[in-house]
Homo-oligomer: A and B are copies of this chain.
Amino acid sequence: MRLVIARCSVDYAGRLSAHLPLATRLLLVKADGSVLVHSDGGSYKPLNWMSPPARLTVAPAGEDAAEGVVETWTVRNLKSDDRLVVSVHEVLHDSSHELGVDPGLVKDGVEAHLQELLAEHIGTLGDGYRLVRREYPTAIGPVDILARDGGGGAIAVEIKRRGDIDGVEQLTRYLELLNRDPQLRPVAGVFAAQEIKPQARTLATDRGIRCVTLDYDALRGMDDVSARLF
């Protein structure tokens, strides 16, 4: 990994065109040839970049030396024809470092986990609810959860972290299919998410689908309690 602090301007040409005026920035060159151009603020997203696999070539200034350019970096993607051109005016820092391969990130608490928790505590949807199965298969893909309510009626549950209109459309398609099955019919729908967009709620309600807001911490808390009982 090479770290360069430089006064530079940057041009990108690929799926779109973009330009960065002259300023002091961090140029980060990774082992796979990818380059990140970072400013001293903003988010984790660079101002501009070239994705791997890429190749960096450095050329001394040509005609643009008159404009103060010291050297020109050209970063070419090896699979597409995207190009990133960095016009370096002044190098303030330049160092290289051996990092080795990274063991990678371990995550916990995403949608899959939400589904697990709700399946485990399906009773939070109503008294007498019981789980039939998670990932209940249909012709167009698996429904997140199939359950039965206290009266034995079938319930199809679609789970999202953020519930928007697409999720309601998806659940609607599942319900249409499931309601053709005499073993299940009639199947009611539940749209469960940590956060449900108003538009999605309106559409769901209009179609007779119940909306449920999930509290991840509460579900996880119930988990802890039940864990303590053992």
Q: Give chain A's interface residues, CB within 8 Å of chain B.
A: 1, 3, 5, 15-21, 23-26, 28, 30-32, 34, 36, 38-49, 51-52, 92-93, 95, 97-110, 166, 169
Contact = CB atoms under 8 A, between A and B. Distances in A.
Contact of A44 (B15, B18, B34): B34
Given A26-B99, A97-B93, A100-B40, A109 B15 contact: yes
Number of identical protomers: 2
Contacts of A16: 107-110
20 contacts: A1-B5, A16-B108, A18-B105, A21-B103, A23-B100, A24-B97, A24-B99, A26-B28, A28-B38, A30-B40, A31-B41, A32-B40, A39-B99, A39-B102, A40-B101, A43-B52, A44-B49, A47-B104, A95-B95, A169-B169
Given A28-B38, A40-B99, A105 B1 contact: no
A17 B166 contact: no
B32 A41 contact: yes
B43 A44 contact: no
Contact of A93 (B24, B25, B95, B101): B95
A109 B17 contact: yes
Looking at A26, A105, A107, A108, the one whose CB has the most chain B CB atoms below 10 A away is: A105
Contacts of A39: 99, 102
A117 to B, nearest CB: 13
A76 to B, nearest CB: 17
